[in-house]
A = this chain, B = another copy of it.
Amino acid sequence: MNAFISTLQKNVEVLTRPSSIEEFKYIPQEEKTLPNIGQLKDIVDLIKSIFFPGYFGVTGRNQNSQQYYTGVNIEKLYSLLDEQIYTGLHFFHTEDTREALKDSAELALVFIDRLPKIKRLLCTDIKAVFDGDPAARSYGEVIFCYPAIQAMINYRIAHELLALGIPVIPRIITELAHSATGIDIHSGAQIGEYFSIDHGTGVVIGETCIIGNHVRLYQGVTLGAKSFKLDDDGLPMNIPRHPILEDHVIVYSNSTILGRITIGHHSIIGGNIWQTSGVPPYSRILQRKAVSSFFVDGAGI
């Protein structure tokens, strides 16, 4: 046991010495301002039960009592948002930001006023996913089962929160969807109506993407940035650097589209493409034909 105690005491000392902790400055713990991931999940779940009662959450037995549930859920949402927005506003506390001055309660109210708009957009996504999948039998199945809708719910919530100037919280909400679905949409991306993703695992949509209406992506599609410029301090510059996809574009699986380029409307990008330049409307891009041979021995590739 002596070995245990000495190892314990030595490592406690090493791991708590100020130089060790300060190397990566961390949030003063006394203020308890860290976002709470469990509560952010609850926020998303509450919004789902407000938008789609019957599919998510506990709801009224019939249409006439639904108002009571929606009232309670919005009030719960308000409390949770107030608390979490506050933590977000305090996450970075460099002196030159004024974010901390904003009123988290006020922002929560503004967000609640945008719920009907968010719901309307999501309904277009549900229609687009349904229309694009021969296997889907009802909107309900799409709402209840499809990961793309799960990802879009989180994205559209996060996008509004980011638009209100709230830091960190939007990223956590989109990462929750990323972990559950493999779909990684930056909350800063601008995405139009009737957006759909099929299967979705591996999709990446970067911060400065602009996506029109009726766009459809398949699994593994990256809408990313090429190497980025550094500013005078040697830090990467946060400028528009991701693609623009105009209306009615389709991108097939595992393709990579990089840089601030424009994919013209009604274009189709085939699968497994590496695309770093823009294309005009109605383009059709396919991978070069593969090399084919016959397989003669057991050595594989």
The interface residues of chain B lying within 8 Å CB-to-CB of A290 are 270, 273-275, 285-288
Report the minimal beta-carbon distance from A185 to chain B, rounded to whole angstroms: 11
A272 and B254 contact, Cβ closer than 8 Å, known pairs A207-B135, A219-B202:
yes
Query: B21, A63: Cβ atoms under 8 Å?
Result: yes
Query: B4, A78: Cβ atoms under 8 Å?
Result: yes
Query: A279, B292: Cβ atoms under 8 Å?
Result: yes
Query: A71, B8: Cβ atoms under 8 Å?
Result: yes
Give the distance in Å from the alpha carbon of A62 to the alpha carbon of B71 in the complex.
13
Give the distance in Å from the alpha carbon of A275 to the alpha carbon of B292 in the complex.
11
Copies of this chain held together in the complex: 6
The interface residues of chain B lying within 8 Å CB-to-CB of A207 are 135
Write the A229-244 contact mask toward B (1 if CB under 8 angstroms, else 0).
Answer: 0000001111101000
Partner of A131, one of B24, B236, B276, B299: B236
The interface residues of chain B lying within 8 Å CB-to-CB of A59 are 29
Partner of A218, one of B123, B199, B224: B224
Query: A27, B291: Cβ atoms under 8 Å?
Result: no
Report which A residues bind B (CB closer than 8 A).
1, 3-5, 7-16, 18, 20-21, 23-30, 34-35, 50-55, 58-72, 74-76, 78-79, 91-92, 105, 109, 112-113, 115-116, 119, 123, 126, 131-135, 137-141, 143-147, 167-168, 171-172, 175, 178-182, 184, 186, 188, 199, 201-202, 204, 207, 218-220, 222, 224, 226-228, 235-239, 241, 250, 252-256, 258, 266-268, 270-276, 279-280, 282-296, 299-301
Closest partner residue, chain B, to A139 (CB atom): B24
Query: B71, A1: Cβ atoms under 8 Å?
Result: no
